[in-house]
């Protein structure tokens, strides 16, 4: 049929209804909006660079990040050491590169594990309502009342140190927010007729939650997720700065800021460089979050 109607404009079928317009690619539309704004593009480039840095850290770093080289300590930037060396003679540039890996690891792991639990809780609370809602919301209240720092201190006090503890503590602190966000979205999505329609065709609760409500409630959460990565990295830096984060000598950005604290006047770059790295990462992820939201949310899309 398509062949016959190619040259007859406007093409109509037997019922007098114009045939479908050519299809747009969803991806192309996404890309056009996402990359159409400079700020998002910059954020995206930063994130891509950081991710690549994390993956290829062994190739990019010029020195071992933990080996001391005391004779060359506290040097300024040079061709040898691009960002100079710290108080133990370690190459700052290499430590930042390796630190990217740690930050990314913690950021993604904490956000995704908290999202998994939070989304499940939020969806269930919103969908079932009533007593389930009450119980889950009280749990989130309890979680919110527990600061991540105290949690890490507690675990550290019980003898645990390391990346795993940091991830766990930061994820734990994020769950409540995720659950709240998901719950709010799901509550409003739940009111839609298509959810009733899904029930009217005999779909199970589980399927309705995941196939009907979740895809509609998720887009606003993407912002929360991507920005959450920035937040978690910041949180990790905070913990490391206090000395209860990733244990030394691992190159954690927060720890590096603390290391440089004593030498701020002589050699400010020791603290500044990792600080800028943290800032770039947070900025990058926030921009990407905004961009994704604009590009995939049909309500913000504006154009077909």
Partner 1 sequence: MALLDVQNLKTYFHTEYGLVKAADGVSFHVNQGEIIGLVGESGCGKSVTILSIMQLIPSPPGEKAGGKVIFEGKDLLKYQPNGQEMRSIRGSKLTMIFQEPMTSLNPVLTIARQMTETLELHLDMDKSAARERGIELLKMVGVPDASRRIDDYPHQFSGGMRQRVMIAMALSCNPMIIFADEPTTAVDVTTQAQLLELMKDLVTRLNTSLVIVTHNLGVVARYAQRIYVMYAGRIIESGPSEAIFSDPQHPYTVGLLNSVPKLGERHGERKLIPIYGLPPNLINMPPTCAFLPRCNAKIGRCSKEPWPELRVVGKDHLISCYANIKGK
> What residues line the site for partner 1 (CB under 8 A)?
1-2, 13, 15, 17-20, 23, 130, 192-194, 196-205, 211-212, 215-216, 298, 304
Least Å distance, CB 202 to partner 1, is 4
Place of tokens 């700065």: 241
Rounded Cα–Cα distance for residues 103 and 105 (Å): 5
- Pick the closer one to partner 1 by CB: 17 or 145: 17
- In whole angstroms, the minimum distance from the beta carbon of 204 to partner 1 comes to 7
CA distances from 173 to 113, 118, 200 (A): 11, 11, 39
Sign, Cα dihedral of 135, 230, 153, 149? negative
Q: How far is the CB of 225 from partner 1 (least distance, A)?
A: 17
Nearer to partner 1, 38 or 299 (CB): 299
Do residues 30 and 44 make contact, with C-beta atoms less than 8 angstroms apart? no
* Smallest distance, partner 1 to C-beta of residue 56, A: 36
Q: Count of CB atoms within 10 A of residue 280's CB?
A: 15
CB of 2 or CB of 158, closer to partner 1: 2
Quote the Cα angle for 250-252-256, to 5°: 105
16: left (phi over 0), alpha (psi -120 to 50) or beta: left
What is the rounded distance in angstroms from the CA atom of residue 275 to the CA atom of residue 261? 11
- DSSP β-bridge partners for residue 91: 85
Residue 257 dihedral angles phi and psi, to the nearest 5°: -60, -45
Q: How far is the CB of 286 from partner 1 (least distance, A)?
A: 25
25 vs 79, beta carbon nearer partner 1: 25
Does residue 88 sit in helix, strand or coil?
A: coil
Cβ distance to partner 1 smaller for residue 13 or 80: 13
Nearer to partner 1, 23 or 38 (CB): 23
Q: Least separation, in Å, of the C-beta of 186 and partner 1?
A: 14
What's the closest the beta carbon of residue 40 comes to partner 1, in angstroms? 22
Structure token pair of residue 232: 């978690």
- Taking the least distance from each CB to partner 1, the nearer of 58 and 193 is 193
């Amino acid at each position: 049929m398509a062949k016959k109607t190619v040259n007859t404009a406007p093409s109509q079928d037997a019922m007098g209804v114009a045939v479908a317009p050519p299809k747009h690619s969803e991806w192309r539309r996404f890309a056009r909006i996402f990359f159409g704004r400079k700020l998002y593009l910059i954020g995206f480039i930063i994130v891509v660079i950081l991710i690549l840095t994390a993956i290829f850290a062994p190739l990019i770093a010029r020195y071992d990040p933990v080996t001391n080289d005391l004779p060359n300590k506290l040097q300024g930037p040079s061709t040898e050491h691009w960002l100079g060396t710290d108080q133990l003679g370690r190459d700052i540039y290499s430590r930042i590169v390796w630190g990217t890996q740690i930050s990314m690891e913690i950021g993604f792991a904490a956000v995704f594990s908290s999202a998994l639990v939070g989304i499940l809780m939020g969806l269930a609370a919103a969908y079932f309502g009533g007593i389930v809602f009450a119980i889950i919301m009280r749990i989130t209240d309890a979680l919110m009342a527990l600061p991540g720092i105290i949690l890490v201190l507690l675990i550290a006090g019980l003898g645990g140190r390391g990346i795993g503890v940091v991830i766990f503590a930061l994820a734990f602190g994020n769950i409540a927010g995720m659950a709240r966000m998901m719950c709010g979205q799901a509550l409003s999505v739940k009111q839609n007729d298509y959810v009733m329609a899904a029930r009217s065709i005999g779909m199970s609760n589980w399927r309705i939650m995941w196939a009907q409500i979740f895809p509609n409630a998720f887009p606003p959460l993407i912002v929360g997720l991507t920005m959450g990565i920035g937040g978690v990295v910041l949180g990790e830096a905070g913990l490391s700065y206090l000395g209860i984060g990733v244990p030394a000598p691992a190159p954690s950005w927060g720890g590096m800021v603390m290391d440089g604290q004593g030498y701020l006047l002589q050699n400010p770059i020791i603290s500044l460089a990792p600080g800028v790295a943290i800032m770039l990462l947070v900025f990058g992820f926030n921009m990407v979050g905004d961009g994704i939201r604009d590009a995939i949310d049909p309500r913000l899309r504006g154009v077909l």
